[in-house]
Structure 1
Amino acid sequence: MKVAIFASGSGTNAQAIIEAVLQGTLDIEVGLIVSDKPQARVLERAAKYNIPTFAFTPKNFSSKAEFEKEIVEKLYDANIEFVVLAGYMRLIGPTLLEAYGGKMINIHPSLLPSFSGLDAIGQAFQAKVKVTGVTIHYVDAGMDTGPIIAQEAVRIDEEETLETLTKKIQALEHRLYPETLQVIKKQMNL
């Protein structure tokens, strides 16, 4: 299964996926990294592993449909079969959904449907809940509303800080995302 990873920031989940491939625990090929921020650190990570990239600046396009059309062309050119959102901070529009609907997943740092949207870890911390976690779900037209594939809980301890909670969530993401991708790969026979 040849995948593209979309990311807007540092790319720690992309790194975890790439490392799982290199360690032989994830049987996929990362064929493209896509970023909506040309200065994103994820692009440096991709270069380190000689993974092709496509970076763009959304404001340089007249519409979301226009930049998504270009993304779809890049995905098709690279023979991408599946899309993995890993910290891509944009809602996916109809153009990408039409091309990769049912073949696109996202990771979110909460137990959806709780704490959807931005700063989910901060939302859970401020709400003083006892448990939060990580969700992997298929992407649909909504924000963090697609069918859930996998979830795992993280306990929030009494002495927890936002920083320690963030580290616990990220450690879980870095394990759960590659594991879930491997399961999906087997189910899809790609």
Structure 2
Amino acid sequence: MPLKIAVLISGSGSNLQSIIDRIEQGILDARITLVLSNKPDAYGLKRASQHGLATRVVEHGSYASREEFDRAVVQEIRASQAQAVVLAGFMRILSPFFINSFPNRILNIHPAILPAFPGVDGQKQAAEHGVKISGCTVHFVDEKMDHGPIIIQAAVPGLADDDAKSLGSRILALEHRILPQAIQWLAQDRLKVSGRRVEIEGAPQPLLAGGGQETALVSPGLDKGF
């Protein structure tokens, strides 16, 4: 049976689109039962509606505390019968209540090679720091921001003339590959968490792809189709 997932967004939803595309291509063994946003004008909600997916808006400003907001979101997720939660550009820090509601079942995509540059604007932080290598990370979510056990990372070159937009575009192309891959491993029950480490059953060897500015290193590697 496909893994039932709720996808949480706050913005354009390009990572949501990458998940939808892999599902519709028959590559990702998952089913999106809910797309939820804390912002009613998030373009990702339109993407979801175009594919016939259920959507909800829970505005964080309508709640007196972070936990009250999270309780409302968790209620929506549970009503959708989702088995796991994917944060795809969801710009909210989760409370312990939320995290404990789905232990080791919440994935997040972050546009930096963690533990470097946590928090907002990881691409901008990296470009301004003049990094020679940047990238993205999919990790399990714990009670600290951008901190949980790492599942997969992808790296791209940082160029001398990079700004947040140019570096971010190369990173985003890899986000669209590694997030669906991590969800697939979760759907196949291939992820085992041991402390800070995530063991992946049958993990492919690290992948080096492209050349020049398009060089990318992905570790672990990607299954066929991702």
Tell me how far apart the structure 2 counterparts of residues 98 and 161 of structure 1 sit (CA, whole Å).
37
Residue of structure 1 in register with 2:64 after alignment: 62
Question: Per the alignment, do residues 99 and 83 of structure 1 end up closer, same or farther by CA in structure 2, a change over 3 Å counting?
Answer: same
Q: Which has the higher strand share?
A: 2
Tell me how far apart the structure 1 counterparts of residues 6 and 161 of structure 2 sit (CA, whole Å).
38
Residue of structure 2 in register with 1:145 after alignment: 147
Residue of structure 1 in register with 2:106 after alignment: 104
Residue of structure 1 in register with 2:206 after alignment: none
Q: Pick from 42, 45, 69: which aligns with 1:43?
A: 45
Q: Deviations over 1:23-69 (max 9, x none)?
A: 11111001101111011111111110111111121121122222211
Q: Pick from 33, 36, 39: which aligns with 2:35?
A: 33
Could you say what secondary structure the match of 1:144 adopts? coil
Q: How does 1:117-136 map to 2 (within 5 A)?
A: 117-136=119-138
Output the amino acid matched with 1:76. Answer: R
Displacement of 1:159 after TM fit? 4.1
Question: Per the alignment, do residues 65 and 161 of structure 1 end up closer, same or farther by CA in structure 2, a change over 3 Å counting?
Answer: closer
Q: Which has the higher helix share?
A: 1
Higher relative contact order at CA 8 Å, sep ≥6: structure 1 or structure 2? 1
Q: Could you tell me the percent identity over the aligned residues?
A: 38
Q: Deviations over 1:150-170 (max 9, x none)?
A: 111111133434322111011
Output the amino acid matched with 2:6. Answer: A
Residue of structure 1 in register with 2:185 after alignment: 183
Decide whether the 8 Å contact of 2:128 with 2:163 is kept in 1.
Answer: no
Tell me how far apart the structure 2 counterparts of residues 34 and 188 of structure 1 sit (CA, whole Å).
26
Displacement of 1:188 after TM fit? 5.6
Residue of structure 2 in register with 1:8 after alignment: 10
Superposition TM-score, scaled by structure 1 size: 0.95
Tell me how far apart the structure 2 counterparts of residues 114 and 161 of structure 1 sit (CA, whole Å).
17
Tell me how far apart the structure 2 counterparts of residues 124 and 163 of structure 1 sit (CA, whole Å).
11
Q: How does 1:80-119 map to 2 (within 5 A)?
A: 80-119=82-121
Task: Structure 2: give runs of 5+ residues left out of the alignment.
Answer: 192-226
Superposition TM-score, scaled by structure 2 size: 0.80
